[in-house]
Amino acid sequence: MKVPRASRTFFVLVLALPVIGCRSGPIEGWSSRTRTMILTSGPTEISLSSSKVPGYWAQQADSGQEFFLYTRIRSYEKGNRVKVEGPYGNAYPSVFRDEAGVYLQGYPTEVLVVWKMARSDVQNDEEPLSQEDADRAPRQ
């Protein structure tokens, strides 16, 4: 049975699309949106693939979702309200939770790579980051 060439191409394309869809996955957390966070720790670190990653534990102000903010800046303190910008994704690092003194390997964590970070004592999330106050973490 001969299948016309056009039909064959169409059939292959239809089959290929779901495969591409499965392999690519969502573009997770790629956003330049400014997020307001409340730091729940002082400067600390986690370990990702045996590499130490400095930063802070934080809770997103509106949703309460927990993040690890990857930054080399160490001038903030627990309880500070900050605005951050940068992409984020899910990871399974080894962590030490200071508040409970607990060490966990492979702890599911949202890691946000900080591009911009600034103090935010105002409640309005829409206010842009002021360039003077914004600390820039090196992009890697």
Partner 1 sequence: MRRVNRGLLPTLVIGLAFIQAGCQSQLEPWVPDEDHNVTITSEAKFVLTRQGEYVDGYLARFQSQFEQQWMFMVLEIPHYVKGDRLTITGRFIDDSVRISFENRSQEKVPVFRVERAKPNIPSAPDVPALK
Return the structure tokens found at 7.
Answer: 């039909």
Interface with partner 1, residue 95, by CB under 8 A: yes
Binding partner 1 by CB under 8 A: which of 21, 25, 26, 101? 101
> Residue 94 interacts with partner 1 (CB under 8 A)?
yes
* Candidate list 96, 119, 129, 134; residue touching partner 1; CB under 8 A: 96
β-bridge pairing 95-97 and 44-48: unpaired
Amino acid at 66: E
Contact 53, 75 (CB under 8 A): no
Using rule CB under 8 A, residue 103 touches partner 1: yes
Decide: 129 and 119 in contact? Cβ < 8 Å. no
Using the contact rule CB under 8 A, the part of the chain among 26-34, 47-55, 71-79, 117-125 near partner 1 is 47-55
- The correct pick among 74, 102, 127, 128 for binding partner 1 (CB under 8 A) is 102
Min dist. Cβ of residue 119 to partner 1 (A): 27
- Alpha-carbon distance of 92 to 99, in angstroms, equals 20
Query: In whole angstroms, how close is the CB of 54 to partner 1 at the nearest point?
Result: 12
Distances (CA, A) of 47 to 18, 53, 90, 111, 125: 35, 6, 14, 12, 31
> What are the residues binding partner 1 (CB under 8 A)?
45-47, 50, 52, 94-96, 98, 100-106
